[in-house]
Structure 1
Amino acid sequence: MDLRQLRYFITTAEELHFGRAADRLHIAQPALSIQIKALEDTLGVRLLARTNRVVTLTEAGRLFLKEARRTLDQAEHAAVVARRAGRGEIGRINIGYDVIGACSGVLSTTIRHYRRQAPEVELGLHEIHPETQITSVLEGRIHVGFVTRPALMLPKGLDAVRLAEWPLRVALPTDHPLAERSRVPREALVNEPFVGFTKSAGENYGLFVRQVVGFTPRIAYEADSGFALISVVGAGLGMAVVPSSIASINVGENVIYRPILGVTEQIGIDLVFRRDEEDPAVIKFLSIIRQSER
């Protein structure tokens, strides 16, 4: 039994006339009769009674007609779903992001733009540290990552689209003496305690700060996320070098952000993905984002 036989039977049951059914199906009447007989043989029951050129449905045929229509409708729906999935109109995309990307508005703006063009694709959002995002994309645990890093060195097999860049700032407790300055000299930070990231966060924060300000910072406390880092700064336990995009986190107005004199480096956010990506929904996502960045 195949879908073609179901379609032939449904048409014949609707017409109750082999000639008219054959005309609707654009096949010869003998070929239609052969297919209906083959369907009945497969089921082991008569579906149509033929007497004196009158065709009627048997009780089995009447009940089978309802199920055949449901089956055909479901098959057609399945075909539509497959075609839409192949065009990237439906499916699921797992997206990684970090706190900086979320606070900057880049994540929300990008997803909002995408959703206007692909509203039925399911999105899985996962807060993941930038370096872990890269590994997760490479290993297929997420499809794309919004990765914020000072310098993006990607493993072979990955590619990226630059979405935004931000200047660096020093995050200070609001009651710190340096908070009164509009710009903070690098030399004024030398003996200050810093808040860094834990090793489990996967980032050598001390090396990053040294590259920016020219000295190795004294890490007094560590945090495992951007929110935690700013919270520790707000508690008055140290300062931190962060991108200006994170300035929306003020933890009760206990943190202030100031430019650092002489520092021109920026931190960027990149959309990272696999070069050999084959998922239609992800490919369409990347296409929409690339077009929006032109």
Structure 2
Amino acid sequence: MENNDTDCQENIDKSRALYIFYSSVVVLEFILGLLLNISVIHLFVIKLKFWKSKTIDIFLFNLVLADILLLIGLPVKAYNFQQCSENKVVCKVQLFLQFLNRGASIAFLTVISIYRYFSVVHPGKRKLLWILKRSPQISIFIWVLLGILTIPAMLQSFIRCNSNENDEEASLVVLLREIVFFTQILIPFFVLVYCSIRIIKRLNQKSVGDKTKLRRAMFLVTTVVLVFAICFLPYTFTRVVQLKNGFVMKEEKVAVVKLYDGFICLSYLNCLLDPILYCLSSSKFKKLYISMYLPFLLKKEQAEISDDTADD
């Protein structure tokens, strides 16, 4: 154990500047993401009263809630980026929350895409839409299911709290953990891609309606897929390489660990972008948000309109 700690400290010292940068990025994501998500969820509760709102609002609320709960654990992650020793209990709780809330964020993102897919592509399938409209029950089911599937993260540390510990021996718990990890990212990604392609095709077929709104809808659908791919796929593929660490040289292992940790930082960016893509993309929600938190922008816009009217 002492030798492992020594190796760990050597690796940290060699990459001190890099991991301070990683830690700084995580802290910045934590501050910006928490402020934005809390303001959005406050709007859901105070103005929209989401529990009385449309189906999509309940899913959006749960998406933002999952992102907030994920962000809360980021200070611990930032600390672990700079330290070799850690409290194992705190580490496992942080990993459990990380996996639970990231999984919930991805799950609600996927459900929202499926709901929009049936609403746009198959509006006549009322039975399926009726099932999807049971959003409170679906939301509870998602949280309970993910809580059960995330238990392996508490039994054994996933990957490591700091990335320099030795790999674990294969076991049934580790295998289950890896299956959950990959399926909760790859399957939703393919679902998102399929739903997005079908929605875009359907929107392109529409000959009536506001063309600006149609283009905006297609841009949003495409952006969601791109953000998901950028945030989650790099660190997923790097995890595949990590699982093959036994077949590469020690120097290559260290390089892969550094790359993986960098992609972990990138994945947290999703928590910052979700409120923008899913909430502020709605003109109604955007107006409410600006009027509540950024009223000066609304006054500026009204002043510009008044000036234009005066010039005419």
Query: Of Structure 1 and Structure 2, which has the larger fraction of its residues in helix?
Result: 2
Query: Of Structure 1 and Structure 2, which has the larger fraction of its residues in strand?
Result: 1
TMscore range, shorter length: under 0.3
Provide TM-score, normalisation by structure 1. Answer: 0.26
